[in-house]
Amino acid sequence: MKSARLWSYLIFLTGVMYFIIPLIGMFEFSLRKRRGEYSFDAYTSVLTDAQFQQTFLYSLLMALVAIVFGILLVVPTAYWVRLRLPKMRPVVEFVTLLPLVIPPVVIAFGYIRLFNTSSVLPFLGSQFGTDVLLSCGYVVLALPYMYRAVDTGLRAIDILTLTEAAQGLGANWPAIIFRVIFPNVLVAVLSGAFLTFAIVIGEYVISALLDRPAFGPYLVWIGSNKAYEPSALAVMTFAVTWGCMALIQVVTRFSKHTRTSI
């Protein structure tokens, strides 16, 4: 039994090495910009780069729009399906899982063909329209995660009783959804939101094909033009991803008493 435990540790440590070494590698590399000594020059160079600031802010904005739009779309739908249309659940669930089946590059291709300037809905005819289209694309990419998070959250509460109680007190539908249901699934919604953020912030394919100045295409551009800055950016992106996942853990644990599990 003792040797079995030894093997467990050995296997585990090998795994840890594979996952830790690239992280050490990128961190070490990001410090090498100044010759002969470690420095944070690559970070200052990136952070003061106007293009970094613009693309990051742009992606940040897109992520926020996608999160708000995604919540407004998913929460009422998942609620309604559970309350009134349980028969439609497999269908809706199937649709929400489709973005995992259809590669993003195909979705972007479809947008370019369907929404070009000569179509009925010329989203791509203006810059604002393209931004709207891009954020809708992000809602689609995040749909599988957002829907599943919210649906799991709804399963943990008694929506029928809550709805009838609210109706008995004279609440209308918007009040029920936003003042009764929404606060009860807040944790699930937040998890979905952070996951959306982690997916959207470095997204490359759709923004590149729609030709928008997002963070993902900037990353690729800098990767082929600079030596140490890419590693600094990778470190920062990793920190952002880590932060999103940590926040999910925190909000989930914070509300353990509501028995919500994601």
Q: How far apart are CB 112 and another protein at their closest, in Å? A: 7
Q: How far apart are CB 209 and another protein at their closest, in Å? A: 6
Q: Which of 45, 104, 125, 167 touches another protein by CB under 8 A? A: 104
Contact set for another protein, span 2-41 (CB under 8 A): 4-5, 7-9, 11-12, 15, 18-19, 21-26, 28-30
Q: Which ranges in 31-86 belong to alpha helices (H)? A: 41-47, 50-83
* CA–CA separation, 79 and 69 (whole Å): 16
How far, in Å, are 96, 140, 147 from residue 144 at the CA level? Answer: 5, 8, 5
Q: Are 201 and 59 in contact (CB under 8 A)?
A: yes
Binding mask 123-162 for another protein (x = CB under 8 A): ----------x--xx-xx--x-------------------
Q: Mention every residue, 6+ apart, whose C-beta is less than 8 A from residue 189.
A: 71, 75, 149, 150, 153, 182
**Selected range binding another protein among 44-52, 56-64, 77-85, 179-187, rule: CB under 8 A:** 77-85
> Does residue 216 belong to the site contacting another protein (CB under 8 A)?
yes
Q: How far apart are CB 186 and another protein at their closest, in Å? A: 20
Q: Which of 242, 250, 254, 256 touches another protein by CB under 8 A? A: 242
* CA–CA separation, 44 and 33 (whole Å): 11
Q: How far apart are CB 170 and another protein at their closest, in Å? A: 20
Nearest to another protein of 104, 129 (CB atom): 104
Q: Are 70 and 143 in contact (CB under 8 A)?
A: yes
Q: Are 102 and 144 in contact (CB under 8 A)?
A: no
Buried b (16+ CB within 10 A) or exposed e, 147-176: bbbbbbbbebbebeebbeebeeeeeeeeeb
Q: Which of 195, 200, 214, 251 touches another protein by CB under 8 A? A: 195
Q: Which of 2, 223, 202, 4 is nearest to 104 (CA)?
A: 202
**Selected range binding another protein among 52-60, 99-107, 157-165, 178-186, rule: CB under 8 A:** 99-107
Contact set for another protein, span 35-74 (CB under 8 A): 73
Q: How far apart are CB 138 and another protein at their closest, in Å? A: 10
Q: Which of 208, 222, 53 is nearest to 134 (CA)?
A: 208
* CA–CA separation, 71 and 152 (whole Å): 14
Q: How far apart are CB 47 and another protein at their closest, in Å? A: 16
Q: How far apart are CB 251 and another protein at their closest, in Å? A: 14
Q: Which of 47, 60, 64, 92 touches another protein by CB under 8 A? A: 92
